[in-house]
Each structure stands twice: as C-alpha cells, then as structure tokens.
C-alpha cells in the first residue's frame, strides 16, 4: 500500500512539474536563417517555389537517407503539396501563398513524433545580381513544445538545419546561374543573343527577282503588299509576317537575288498569277531578334557570320528577314522588330 501511495505521489508530482514547465515555456515558435546568393532573385526563387527542387537542396535527406517523398498538386504553384515519412517522423508541406520572386508561405504539418503545425516562411530580397534569402518557420507551440522550449531554444535547435539547407540552395543556384551565364556568353556575338531553332518546312508566296541594292526599298514597297493581296484573293491563308527570302547577296555587283513575300499555308499546288511560290524544307536556323531601323540591320548579319565561324557551322540555303513590326503603325524605329534567320548545318 505504501508503495502504491509512493507511486501516486511521484506521478502527481511529475504531472505538476510538467504543468509548471508547460506554463513557463514559450507559446510561440519562431526560427530562421539567411544567406546571400550570388545570382538573381528569380534564379533562387525558382528553386524555392518548387517543392520537388526543395527536396534536392533541403537538408532532410542527408539526415534521413531512408525518407520517402510524394508530391501532388500544381508544381511550383499555390496548392502543391509534398508528403514525407522517415525515421525522424512524418508530415506534409503545402504552398499556401506566393509573391513572384519575393516570398512564399507554406503550411507545415508534422504528424510524427507528435502532431504540430507551423508556417514555413521564404523571403527573397533582390540585390541586383545577387539576392538575400531568408528561410524560417513560425507558429504556436503545443504543450510538448512549450515544455521543450524551457530546456532548449527552438531557434538554436533547428537553426543549423536551415543553415545547411540554405548552403545547399546557394551552391545549387549559383551553379545554375553560372551555367546560364556561360551559355549566354557562348551564343552572344556583336551584342546579339543568337538562338538555334529547328524550323519546320515553310512555303512563301511572293515575287522573286535580282534587285539592285538601291532599288530594294521600292521592290519591297510594291511586292510585300501585293503578296498579301494575292494570297487573299486566292483564298490562301497567310501564316506569318512579310518576309524577304535571300538566295544571294552580291557585294561586288551590289545586288541581291531575293523573294519578297509572305509565308502561306501549303495546300496543294499553289498558283497565283504574277507571283512565285518557294518552299523551304525543314531545317536548323540561327535567329536574331533585331530591334531598330532597317538601315542598321547589317550589324545583325555580321554577328551571324561571327557565330557561324566561331562554332564551325556551315551556312547554306537561304537567309530570311521577317518584318514583324508594321512601320506604318509604329513610328518609333527603336520598336521595330525584324527576325534575322540563317539556315545552318
């Protein structure tokens, strides 16, 4: 009987002690760390908003290699969810708010070892070519959390995990950004970024002729509108902007062999009186979006030549100039867009 009484006293004392500790502990939980990443905010945020990418740089897998993950919902958007289960516990994280390239909030639910819920916080501050990322979590402590906070500062307990994760994020993002910069440098010539595109077969309706350079303006002025008009009258659907298709550019005779026309939908045997039809097979092309007056477009062609030589490519077939902007509708020449394309292999 005395033993039972002793046990009851001990249990009662333990309950009282836990109640006192729970009352002493903090009701709020807040922890976080920051890191500077030498890459634009958008580059860092792309790795933050994706819960699948977060699984790559997060510190948890290093601590719990046997952890399993599953993902659901729209990737990188509000409503996306990751769920995990491992030796250290189980839970889920759901994206509940996103401010593009600036912040994200998540709902963190821990099911094991005990039920608790917090808000995950991600803040990205742009600093030009760099950014500062803050990662943390906050919420209300339950009874067990309050007792635990009496003996250990929660920030000191989980802070090292944030530090490890942010270090991984920094390494990942800076490596990706460096690769992007190297790729951009590789395809930049004369100040123009030149993209490589696989182009489908295209058919052009227009007028082909050998034209003196001095007569190009009047040639375009006559045959570009005439090509649209001819297509319309013949019930042929156009598929793009007016285009010059060059077959030859003669620096000695100062003349060019070209077709001034418009791309059209290939539907059987096209025949329009007074106009020519030319089909370009599917091919690989280099593309420069050139902005500015037509008089300065020569610099874009020079950049193409440099790109081709530097990369050991061979130019063949045609050169295209797609006149995307209508100069009659846009008087500001700086806003004129002309796509310059070279067929290469």
Got the DSSP string for 103-130?
Answer: EEEEEEEEEESS-EEEEEEEEEEEETTE
Architecture (CATH level 2) of domain 25-184: 2-Layer Sandwich (3.30)
Proportion of the chain above pLDDT 90, given as a percent: 75
Give residues with Cβ within 8 angstroms of 277, minimum separation 6.
Answer: 203, 204, 205, 270, 271
pLDDT category, 3, cuts 50, 70, 90? Answer: low
CA end-to-end distance (rounded Å), the chain = 96
Q: Between the CA of residue 287 and those of 15, 91, 183, 247, 305, what are the distances in Å?
A: 75, 48, 16, 17, 12
Phi-psi region of 59 (alpha: psi -120 to 50; beta: other; left: phi over 0): alpha
| Tally: H helices and E strands in the chain | 8, 17
The two structure tokens encoding residue 259? 């077709």
Q: Does domain 195-344 have CATH number 3.40.50.300?
A: no
- The whole-number pLDDT of residue 19 equals 41
pLDDT higher than 70, residue 283? yes
Phi, psi dihedral angles at 281 (to 5 degrees): -70, 165
pLDDT higher than 50, residue 317? yes
What tens digit of pLDDT does each residue of 56-93 get?
999 988 888 888 999 999 999 999 999 999 887 899 99
- The whole-number pLDDT of residue 65 equals 86
- The whole-number pLDDT of residue 49 equals 96
CA nearest neighbour of 306 among 206, 228, 221, 190: 190
CA nearest neighbour of 144 among 133, 135, 152: 152
Could you state, in order of their start, the residue ranges of all structural domains in the chain? 25-184, 195-344
What tens digit of pLDDT does each residue of 161-189 get?
899 999 999 999 999 999 999 999 999 99
Q: How far apart are CA 284 and CA 267, in angstroms?
A: 23
- Residues present in the chain in total: 345
What tens digit of pLDDT does each residue of 197-223 get?
999 999 999 999 999 999 999 999 999
Strand order in the sheet with 283-291: 195-199, 283-291, 337-344, 315-323, 243-250, 255-264, 202-212, 276-280
The two structure tokens encoding residue 255? 């003349």
What tens digit of pLDDT does each residue of 4-62 get?
555 544 444 444 433 443 444 445 667 899 999 999 999 999 999 999 999 999 998 88
Q: Between the CA of residue 34 and those of 79, 130, 225, 251, what are the distances in Å?
A: 25, 13, 60, 60
Radius of gyration of the CA atoms of the chain, in A: 33
Q: How far apart are CA 326 and CA 228, in angstroms?
A: 14
Q: How far apart are CA 85 and CA 75, in angstroms?
A: 20
Rounded average pLDDT over 151-161: 67
What tens digit of pLDDT does each residue of 118-140 get?
999 999 999 989 999 999 998 87
0.75 exceeded by the pTM? no
Is residue 166 within 8 A of residue 135, CB to CB? The reply is yes
Q: How far apart are CA 93 and CA 105, in angstroms?
A: 10
């Amino acid at each position: 009987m005395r033993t039972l009484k002793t046990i009851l006293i001990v249990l009662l004392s333990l309950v009282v002690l836990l109640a006192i500790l729970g009352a002493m502990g903090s009701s709020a939980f807040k922890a976080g760390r920051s890191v500077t990443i030498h890459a634009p905010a958008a580059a860092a945020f792309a790795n933050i908003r994706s819960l699948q990418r977060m699984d790559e740089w997060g510190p948890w897998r290093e601590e719990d290699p046997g952890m399993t993950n599953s993902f659901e919902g729209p990737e990188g958007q509000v409503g996306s969810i990751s769920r995990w289960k491992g030796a250290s516990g189980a839970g889920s994280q759901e994206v509940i708010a996103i401010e593009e390239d600036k912040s994200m909030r998540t709902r963190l639910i821990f099911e094991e070892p005990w039920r608790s819920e917090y808000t995950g916080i991600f803040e990205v501050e742009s600093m030009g070519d760099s950014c500062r990322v803050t990662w943390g979590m906050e919420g209300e402590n339950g009874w067990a959390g309050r007792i635990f906070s009496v003996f250990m500062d929660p920030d000191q307990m989980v802070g090292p995990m944030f530090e490890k994760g942010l270090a991984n994020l920094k390494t990942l993002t800076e490596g990706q950004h460096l690769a992007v910069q190297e790729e951009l440098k590789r395809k930049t010539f004369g100040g123009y970024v030149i993209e490589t595109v696989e182009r489908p077969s295209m058919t052009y309706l227009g007028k082909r002729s050998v034209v003196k350079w001095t007569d190009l303006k009047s040639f375009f002025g006559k045959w570009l509108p005439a090509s649209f008009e001819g297509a319309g009258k013949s019930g042929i659907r156009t598929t793009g902007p007016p285009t010059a298709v060059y077959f030859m550019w003669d620096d000695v005779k100062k003349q060019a062999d070209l077709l001034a026309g418009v791309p059209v939908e290939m539907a059987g045997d096209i025949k329009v009186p007074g106009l020519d039809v030319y089909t370009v097979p599917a091919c690989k092309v280099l593309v420069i979006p050139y902005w500015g007056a037509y008089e300065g477009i020569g610099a874009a062609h020079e950049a193409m030549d440099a790109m081709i030589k530097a990369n050991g490519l061979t130019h063949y077939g045609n050169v295209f100039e797609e006149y995307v902007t209508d100069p009659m509708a846009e008087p500001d020449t700086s806003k004129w867009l002309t796509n310059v394309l070279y067929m290469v292999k």
